Amino acid sequence: MLSKVITIIFDGLGDRPVKELGNKTPLEAAATPNLDRLAANGICGLMHTMGRGIRPGSDVAHMSIFGYPMEKYYTGRGPIEVAGLGLRLQSGDIAFRGNFATVDDKWNITDRRAGRITDVTELAKALNGIKIDGIEFIVLAGTAHRAGVVMRGEGLSSAVSDSDPHEEGKPVYAVKPLNSSPEAHFTAAVLNKFLKQSNEVLSSHPANKKRVSNGKLPANFLLLRGAGVYPSLPAFKDKYGMSACCIAGGGLYKGIGAFLGMDIIDVPGATALPDSDVEAKFKTAVEMLVKYDFVFVHVKAADSLAEDGNYMGKKEFIEKCDKAANTLLKLPEDTLLVITADHTTPSALKAHSADPVPVLFCGAGIRTDRVAEFNETAVSSGGLGIIEGKDIMPEVLNLLGKLPLAGA
């Protein structure tokens, strides 16, 4: 009887035929004996992650697959990124993504990444805990110049503009309310006070004085964007009755796992880049089955390579993933394997598209079909037909015998 699940999401795996690859997609052109074997043993289909005709962003595509529809639970990128930094957000918190940046005396941006500063831990600490008008600011260091910022308190709104003009040489934007509510006006006013105070604290911070004396740019400003309110949402475990963990290299994907209440498992060598140790991630996923019912594994690089137009790199990365998938051929009898993607990223477009993605279920005792290869064309004749992202979890529950009976 199936009782455990590994779900692997290859970011941007789907593609379109590439002339230089003999009119095959990178997935079709790649040698993938292990993924093909899994396809032959399982049941396949195509999936519109967010419904037909919708071009999904990665964050909301993942949420759809896990059964958290965008309309109900997505309020912006901020809360997801901040969850990925390890903070347990509370319902009503307003979260932002942030960059430590360099500004001049007139708040014109000299460098959006503060001279590619590599560690902002000390600077984040100096801002963490600032209180303005009864609102507490929680500031967390991210990787390199990145940070997460949370406003916690009464009377807040996420309807505020970014302070980040996204361009160097331009002045920092004053935060503005995006609607006429008193909450939006209050939040914008408090944020503008925070930006001023944080600029003062950062400018006089010893770490920045040292940077300047070493000829480096000071990280004297915190640019904020992507305001979102942390929604009240059921944790994955409560929603499905399965303990869950997330294995990912990229911050956004750890964030998605943490946002949904999954434990985050760090795997050395998981970088979210083409050099990522995919094999270590798959091996760790299998090990985690002892402790967790549901293991989500995210693999990033097929997407970033396609966004660079690098179809050959994408093909080679897929082949590397296929070698790593050797680990998945002999899973424990009680384990269901789901392999899919969050969206298609055609290398020719260098962007996400609405084309459906391949999806595969494989496990002991489940139905199979005649599909014997894992790629866009082969799976289109599979037994799952064309499904949507929101169909994945009901299908998982069905195969695990956990779906409630409709009617009598």
Stretch of 147-155, 191-199, 274-282, 340-348 lying at the interface with Zn ion (CB under 5 A): 340-348
164 binds Zn ion, rule: CB under 5 A: no
Classify strands 94-103 and 146-152 as parallel, antiparallel or unpaired: antiparallel
| Cα(127)–Cα(132) distance, integer angstroms | 12
Task: Work out how close the CB of 250 gets to Zn ion at its nearest, in angstroms, rounded to a whole number.
Answer: 9
Q: Which one of residues 342, 355, 376, 395 is an interface residue with Zn ion (CB under 5 A)?
A: 342
81 binds Zn ion, rule: CB under 5 A: no
Query: What does DSSP assign to residue 328?
Result: G
User: Which string of DSSP letters, residue by residue, matches 200-237?
Assistant: HHHHT-HHHHHHHHTTPPP--EEEEEEEEEPP----HH
Stretch of 86-94, 269-277, 337-345, 369-377 lying at the interface with Zn ion (CB under 5 A): 337-345
Q: Give the containing element (helix H, strand E) for 395.
A: helix 392-399
Task: Work out how close the CB of 209 gets to Zn ion at its nearest, in angstroms, rounded to a whole number.
Answer: 41
Task: Work out how close the CB of 248 gets to Zn ion at its nearest, in angstroms, rounded to a whole number.
Answer: 12
Residue 58 vs 220, nearer CB to Zn ion: 58
- Among candidate residues 171, 172, 178, 125, the one with its CA nearest the CA of residue 147: 125
Task: Work out how close the CB of 300 gets to Zn ion at its nearest, in angstroms, rounded to a whole number.
Answer: 8
Task: Work out how close the CB of 260 gets to Zn ion at its nearest, in angstroms, rounded to a whole number.
Answer: 16
Task: Say if residues 38 and 375 touch (Cβ distance below 8 Å).
Answer: no
Task: Work out how close the CB of 343 gets to Zn ion at its nearest, in angstroms, rounded to a whole number.
Answer: 5
| Size of the residue set binding Zn ion (CB under 5 A) | 4
| Cα(215)–Cα(196) distance, integer angstroms | 24
Task: Say if residues 151 and 94 touch (Cβ distance below 8 Å).
Answer: yes
Query: What does DSSP assign to residue 91?
Result: T
Tokens standing for residue 360: 């595969």
58 binds Zn ion, rule: CB under 5 A: yes
Residue 217 vs 357, nearer CB to Zn ion: 357
Q: Which one of residues 2, 9, 11, 278 is an interface residue with Zn ion (CB under 5 A)?
A: 11
Binding mask 290-329 for Zn ion (x = CB under 5 A): -------------x--------------------------
Task: Work out how close the CB of 355 gets to Zn ion at its nearest, in angstroms, rounded to a whole number.
Answer: 13
Sign of CA dihedral 97, 100, 106, 108: negative
- The interaxial angle of helices 58-65 and 251-259, nearest 10 deg, is 40
Task: Work out how close the CB of 70 gets to Zn ion at its nearest, in angstroms, rounded to a whole number.
Answer: 14
Residue 36 vs 342, nearer CB to Zn ion: 342
Stretch of 86-94, 145-153, 339-347, 356-364 lying at the interface with Zn ion (CB under 5 A): 339-347
Cα-based angle 294, 295, 297 (whole degrees, multiple of 5): 150
Task: Say whether 4 sits in a helix, a strand or coil.
Answer: strand
Binding mask 15-54 for Zn ion (x = CB under 5 A): ----------------------------------------
Q: List residues near Zn ion by CB under 5 A.
A: 11, 58, 303, 342
